[in-house]
Amino acid sequence: MFTGIIEELGTIRETAVYGGGSRISVSASVVTDGTADGDSIAVNGVCLTALDVSPKGFSADLSQETLDRSTLGRLSAGSAVNLERAVTPSTRLGGHIVQGHVDGRGTFISAVESSGFWTIKIGFPPELAKYLVYKGSVSVEGISLTIAKLDEESFEIAVIPKTWKVTNLSTLKPTDNVNLESDVIAKYVERMMLTK
């Protein structure tokens, strides 16, 4: 489980395709502190198992399911990635409950700056519409954000200067895909209503 509060902006060192999936190597120094092989690290909002952990980075294997559902298969050497370690019992839950189980890919539409603050517009696939609500939580690239405006095909989020500076949002261009995870509470409510 994660909070969606990004700890570090890492860089992809290398990607390799093998068997039924692939492996990425990530340069990082903050999220590797106290992390052992087998621990979870969210990469752009996708929960991955850290391997070959060192003070300078880690590797992670990506299954075909992860490649099909997320944007991680499109990463290349030099790509900036948002990183967060899994929460511990003493971690402050500053964002919302982020599982790292990406629901689908959205599309980065635009970013408009005003006095250092940014309004970002994201398109989403139709199947996620029922889980998105005005002023509700959503994870974009693993970042816990609040929906400030919502229509049938897109939502807007207000981004403070700190988030713009320490995440990969500033590297995105129109038509880029982004990882989306809706609030898990909405999914549980839906399931309970269907099984009554």
The torsion angles phi and psi of 6, rounded to 5 degrees, stand at: -70, 130
C-alpha 73/C-alpha 164 separation (Å) is 24
C-alpha 110/C-alpha 176 separation (Å) is 10
Same domain, 68 and 41: yes
Residue 171 resides in a domain? yes
C-alpha 13/C-alpha 25 separation (Å) is 5
What one-character DSSP code corresponds to residue 162? H
C-alpha 27/C-alpha 54 separation (Å) is 10
75-133 tens-digit pLDDT: 999 999 999 999 988 877 788 889 899 999 999 999 999 999 999 999 999 999 999 99
Domain CATH number, residue 141: 2.40.30.20
Same domain, 74 and 126: no
Question: What's the CA dihedral at 126, 97, 113, 155 to 10 degrees?
Answer: 20
Q: Extract the tokens encoding 75.
A: 């990463």
158-167 tens-digit pLDDT: 999 999 999 9
Domain count of the fold of the chain: 2
Report the range of poorest mean pLDDT among 80-84, 125-129, 168-172, 184-188: 184-188
Kindly indicate the confidence band of residue 195, based on its pLDDT and cuts at 50, 70 and 90: confident
Average pLDDT, the chain: 94
Domain extent at residue 189: 104-194
